[in-house]
Amino acid sequence: MFSSLIDTSFSLNDLWFMLKGAGVTLAVTFWAVLAGTLLGLVLGVVRATAPWWVNAPIGFVLDIFRSVPLLIQLVLANAFKPMIGLNWSSFTVGCVVLALYMSAYCTEIVRGGFLAVPATTRRAARSLGMSWSQDLTEIVFPIALRVALPSWIGLTLGVMKDTAMVWWIGVVELLRSSQVIVTRIQEPLLVLSIAGLIYFLMSFPIARLGARLERRWHEND
Amino acid sequence: MSIEINDVHKSFGPLEVIKGVSMTVAPGEVVSVIGGSGSGKSTLLMCVNGLEPINSGRVLIDGTDVHDRRTDLNKLRRRIGIVFQQWNAFPHLTVLENVMLAPRKVLGKPKAEAEAIAVEKLTHVGLAEKLKVYPSKLSGGQQQRMAIARALAMSPHYMLFDEVTSALDPQLVGEVLDTLRLLSSEGMTMIVVTHEIAFAREVSNRVAFFHQGRIHEIGPPSQVIGNPQKPETVAFLKSVL
């Protein structure tokens, strides 16, 4: 289709192949962000409220997920999965490892948001007769959400780009499919530009949504 | 029907901040608590509605022991409103929603009824024009009046005020004190911890002077403020007037 404009072998089929890869990227991102956020929410509240002897081991494990490069985590998890009798696909391993990675960062974001709610505000809620759980759902979570959202958006965009690494354990996502085409038609600049554009188009709505929510909340601050 | 504080002791670690305080507040009575910083006045209010545990003694609200483990504090607190020095607005809710929240969630009132209550209380404190506004757009005095309306929306029998004008710019103090005057004229039972001596003298039935964790002197304002008997009271009043 481009051959009439510039001299290229890139075909519509190639574009379709890359879009399918983008679909995989979106799927991995979706599951990793969903599971990672839910786990991060629970662990973040635990981290903000539990005594040190609960906190210390959780913090230690999360530190591992945060400090070992993602690539190493993916390769190791994929290599060790048969040893513990798991019959997962590479796709599942990729989602699980990325979800744990996401949750490790998300935990700290949630904890930070939780601790940003002033104790005096929570005391005011309790003094009105609200229970501990009402204080959490009506006061702490809504306020913490406003504090945590920008970091969470940044993390989500980061995880979307980090999905490129699941290529190493054999998942054909956007970057891998681009690489396949580059190998065949030998036009890396064109293909990677298109891949970059697709990544941008996937990230842009999330970034916009975040900016919109932030602006709306900011008007009330 | 009263607040009975009976030989209450309260420590933070090794530091005993309340060293045996007893006081009864009768229905309709306004008791002002004055005294220097760190004398334990604010802590006493927290102990009255169970926000702070006590080490010994008893606090009875209408005969219910606040610090009995079997007491449902969430339920008890519906009867006692408290307003703090920092007004603690819920920043993510409008003024109206701030006041509606507890009637809806705690008392389980339907939305329309909670809203009617909130509008009434906010009108009462002079904020009828600000219903849809977020707290950040209000002045400190307006936020503090909103906090008072928020407590009043629970129809409490008692109101506790913890230095509610201390964090306000001087020109905003008057509007908040006017709201307190209004409440006292309506017969609300109140304990008012305050540094506003003139105000304490004007609205209180009794004034308690707190010093080093004890009530040093208590009586009608004409006595405690007008004609103090203890040298500590004299020294304190001299320092603030």
- What ipTM score was computed for the predicted complex, to two decimals? 0.86
Average pLDDT rounded to a whole number, residues A96-109: 95
pLDDT band at A5 (very low <50, low <70, confident <90, very high): low
Residue reference for tokens 């901040």: B17
Query: How many of the other CB atoms lie within 10 Å of CB of A208?
Result: 11
Helices (H), chain A: 12-49, 52-67, 70-80, 90-115, 119-127, 132-134, 141-162, 174-185, 188-218
Exposure string for A75-103, b = 16+ CB within 10 A, e = fewer: bebbeebeeeeeeeebbebbbbbbbbbbb
Domains of chain B: 3-240 (3.40.50.300)
The answer to whether residue A220 neighbours chain B at the CB level (below 8 Å) is: yes
Question: What is the model's pLDDT at position B240?
Answer: 82
Contact yes or no for B126/B143 (Cβ under 8 A): no
Q: What does the DSSP 8-state code read for residue A215?
A: H
* Number of residues in chain B: 241
Average pLDDT rounded to a whole number, residues B63-78: 89
Q: Do B88 and A220 touch (CB under 8 A)?
A: no
Q: Do B90 and A125 touch (CB under 8 A)?
A: yes
pLDDT per position as a tens digit, A40-49: 999 999 999 8
Domains of chain A: 12-218 (1.10.3720.10)
pLDDT at A3 exceeding the cut of 60? no
pLDDT at B81 exceeding the cut of 80? yes
Interface of B with A (CB under 8 A): 49, 51, 74-75, 77-78, 81-82, 84, 86, 88, 90-92, 101-102, 105-106, 134, 136, 147, 150-151, 154
- Mapped onto helix, strand or coil, the DSSP state of residue A149 is helix
Contact yes or no for B49/B76 (Cβ under 8 A): yes
Q: Do A127 and B51 touch (CB under 8 A)?
A: yes
Closest-CA distance, B162 to chain A, in angstroms, reads 12
Closest-CA distance, B103 to chain A, in angstroms, reads 9
Question: What is the model's pLDDT at position A16?
Answer: 93
pLDDT at B180 exceeding the cut of 80? yes
> CA nearest B97 in A: which residue?
A138
pLDDT per position as a tens digit, B199-239: 888 889 999 999 988 999 999 999 999 888 889 899 898 88
Percent of chain B with pLDDT over 70: 100
> CA nearest B153 in A: which residue?
A128
Q: Do B74 and A129 touch (CB under 8 A)?
A: yes
What distance in Å separates the CA atoms of residue A93 and residue A149, rounded to the nearest whole number?
A: 27
Contact yes or no for B162/B49 (Cβ under 8 A): no
* CA neighbor of B225 nearest in space, from B33, B24, B28: B33
Q: Do A120 and B106 touch (CB under 8 A)?
A: no
